[in-house]
Amino acid sequence: MAELELRDVRKSYGRIDVLHDIDLKIEDGEFVVLVGPSGCGKSTLLRMIAGLEPISGGDFLIGGKQMNDVPPRDRDIAMVFQSYALYPHMAVDRNMGFSMEIRRKPAAERKGPVTRAARTLGLEPYLDRFPKALSGGQRQRVAMGRAIVRDPKAFLFDEPLSNLDAALRVEMRLEIARLHQRLGTTMVYVTHDQVEAMTLADRIVVLNAGEIQQIGTPLELYEAPANRFVAQFIGSPTMNVLELPPEGGLKLDSGARIAGTGGARHLGMRPEHLRIVPAGQGDITVEAQVIERLGSDTNIYTEAAHLGPLLVRAHGNVDLRSGERCGLIFDREKLHLFDQEGARITPNAAAPVQG
Amino acid sequence: MASISRPHPALVVGKYLAVAFYVAFALFPLYWLFKIALTPDALIYTDGTALWPSALTLENFRSVIFASDFLDYFRNSVIVSLSTAAATSLIAAAAGYAFSRFVFRGKRWVVALMLLTQMFPLLMIIAPIYKIVAAVGLLNSLWSLIIVYTAFNIPFATFLMQSFFDGIPKDLEEAAMMDGCTRFQALRKVILPLTLPGLAATLGFVFTAAWSELLFALMLVSKTDAMTFPVGLLTFVSKFSVDWGQMMAAGVLALIPSCLFFLFIQRYLVQGLTSGAVKG
């Protein structure tokens, strides 16, 4: 076990910069999730930590030791690939024990760790099967088993669940969380799925266009997103963002205004922080267009005159039909203001101004 | 539902007839080869196009094996074909791996150049090749054939091997390197076992190409002791007559090594070893 540290790390292909100014310290035993849209450089960053991709600039350290030019095999890091990357010509037990085979451990010594890992992952009945005879979830487990057997300093996961169906994904997510609790080893996990990020991470690193947007715990990111990108990336359904008229701010039905204090240009509000009330009694009046009833929640896609679409998420069922008009109340405490560049304005100065 | 799962009987019969016709069409020359080889010399012209010979004999085989230089030709062909297949596959595997996995300067030029070599008709370059081989003093030697065949087969074999390497996910090597392999170990322990079908296909392709090559063998070798089998076949054609029976018997014998070779590699050819490597 060890801490991983990236100092001012950069990656470029020819003249194209894919990652720059990456400063990140991952503590010993921490579970860090790198999240971002496709092409943001999150997988490249993970591959640089693994040693599969050379680092163009900056320093990468494991446990305080410079690792920039150390080949993957000497970094003592295990990786679980998106494609699982099981060796198709080896049975499950040999797949899992391959790292020891390469290090010339005798077969008798390899057996113990492999059996233990197989027991942990429920793979004991499959040890002599070949990968092609396994289901997707079992292959995923073997890939994890191969990593566990190594007892490495850190685990890397590159979108490990994206090839599984929805139900299995939830199951494996839980399994990974349990694994981290039991092993307490540093884990770095790449995903584009913000639900995976929110549920698994001690800390989330949000990346976009090769830059770190924000680093924080899941709730920090949810409650205090550093900018519009993070605000809209984290949270499901996505945060509503309205443009604030530059003159006088957003006019409410009561006559009050939400002003663009401190250069605010955009107003963000999460769908779950909007409340449906009868028409005429809310901050603004909207028309319900599409209603999705999920049982536990209801998503109401509304359209506000002059303001554009607003999504509302209400608890339980809501007695509302499409085409009906209703009022919306903003949760004043949970509004977010963003400036011209998209940065969040703090402290939250979105209290309505009488006008 | 039954009508969907069970096609009309006439269609089934038609399908099998079509397959049978194709098989007969493809195998007929082979049958004719056997037929002539087994027909006594005296009857070749009197039998004419009769499908079944009126008498059978092994005399042709006996005289080919015991009364001609055929065994020498045969030995030469085996040496040349095996050496060519081995050398070409080795070089093509290395080059194909490099093309598949590495980015290096001039890669496009090398590929273009290799494609270019495939565009010339062999007849155009046969004279220069003769000149070169004569200048280095390799005329009338098996070496000249091995070198020339290897050189001419490398481009195609390289592209073939490259496509096999391309079919093996890069993740596998990277997983092996994470597991503690050097790149070479990853190649040897993970990639190579998965490329066996490709290697077998390349070996088979090059072997047959070298085994049946006539043009260069004819130009570069004129002494009996270095003749390969296709050139040897021509010795059955003399100025005033063609010894059909012995020529066909020699042809039948020449099929044997090719058949054995494919029998040996076919178990690698048919395996779809990469299935189950990644999501499937």
Q: Which residue of A has its CA nearest to B180?
A: A73
Q: Do residues B163 and B45 share a domain?
A: no
Q: Which of A72, A89, A131 sits opposite B178 (nearest CB)?
A: A72
A7 vs B: CB within 8 A: no
At position A220, the amino acid (one-letter code) is E
| CATH number of the A238-339 domain | 2.40.50.140
Q: Say whether B180 and A102 touch across the interface (CB within 8 A).
A: yes
Within a domain: residue B97?
Answer: yes
Within a domain: residue B62?
Answer: no
Q: Do residues B21 and B128 share a domain?
A: no
B140: domain CATH number is: 1.10.3720.10
Residues 182-201 of B with CB under 8 A from A: 182, 185, 189-190, 193-194
Q: How far is B267 from chain A (nearest CA, A)?
A: 15
Query: ω into residue A347 within 30 of 0, thus cis?
Result: yes
* ipTM confidence: 0.84
Q: Do residues B151 and B197 share a domain?
A: yes
Q: Say whether A132 and B280 touch across the interface (CB within 8 A).
A: yes
Q: Do residues B32 and B88 share a domain?
A: no
Q: Do residues B161 and B184 share a domain?
A: yes
Q: Which residues of A323-355 are buried (b: 16+ CB within 10 A; e: fewer)?
A: eeebbbebeeeebbbbbeebebbeeeebebeee
Q: How confident is the model at residue A347 (pLDDT cuts 50, 70, 90)?
A: low
Q: Say whether A88 and B275 touch across the interface (CB within 8 A).
A: yes
Dump pLDDT digits (tens) for A177-233.
Answer: 999 999 999 999 999 998 999 999 999 999 999 999 999 999 999 999 999 999 999
Within a domain: residue B229?
Answer: yes
CA dist., res. A219 & res. B151, Å (int): 65
Q: Do residues B79 and B48 share a domain?
A: no
Q: Which residue of B has its CA nearest to A79?
A: B178
Q: Which residue of B has its CA nearest to A80?
A: B175
Q: Which residue of A has its CA nearest to B278?
A: A83
Within a domain: residue B265?
Answer: yes
B103 vs A: CB within 8 A: no
**Which pLDDT value is given to residue B123?**
83
Residues 146-185 of A with CB under 8 A from B: 146, 150, 163
**Which pLDDT value is given to residue A97?**
94
Count of the separate structural domains present in chain B: 2
Q: Say whether B179 and A86 touch across the interface (CB within 8 A).
A: no
Domain ranges of chain A: 4-228, 238-339
B178: left (phi over 0), alpha (psi -120 to 50) or beta: alpha
Tell me which of B12, B30, B57 is where a domain ends: B57
Q: Do residues B149 and B254 share a domain?
A: yes
Q: Do residues B81 and B144 share a domain?
A: yes
**Which pLDDT value is given to residue B278?**
47
CATH 3.40.50.300 fits A4-228, yes or no: yes
CA dist., res. A160 & res. A189, Å (int): 8
Residue B15 confidence (pLDDT) above 90: yes
Sequence-ordered list of residues with C-beta below 8 angstroms from that of A311, at least 6 positions apart, any chain: A237, A238, A240, A271, A299, A300, A301, A302
Dump pLDDT digits (tens) for A72-106.
Answer: 999 999 999 999 999 999 999 999 999 999 999 99
Percentage of chain B lying above the pLDDT 70 cut: 93
Range of the domain at B120: 69-270
Strand-pairing partners, residue A186, are A154
Q: Say whether A85 and B181 touch across the interface (CB within 8 A).
A: no
Q: Which of A72, A77, A88 sits opposite B194 (nearest CB)?
A: A88
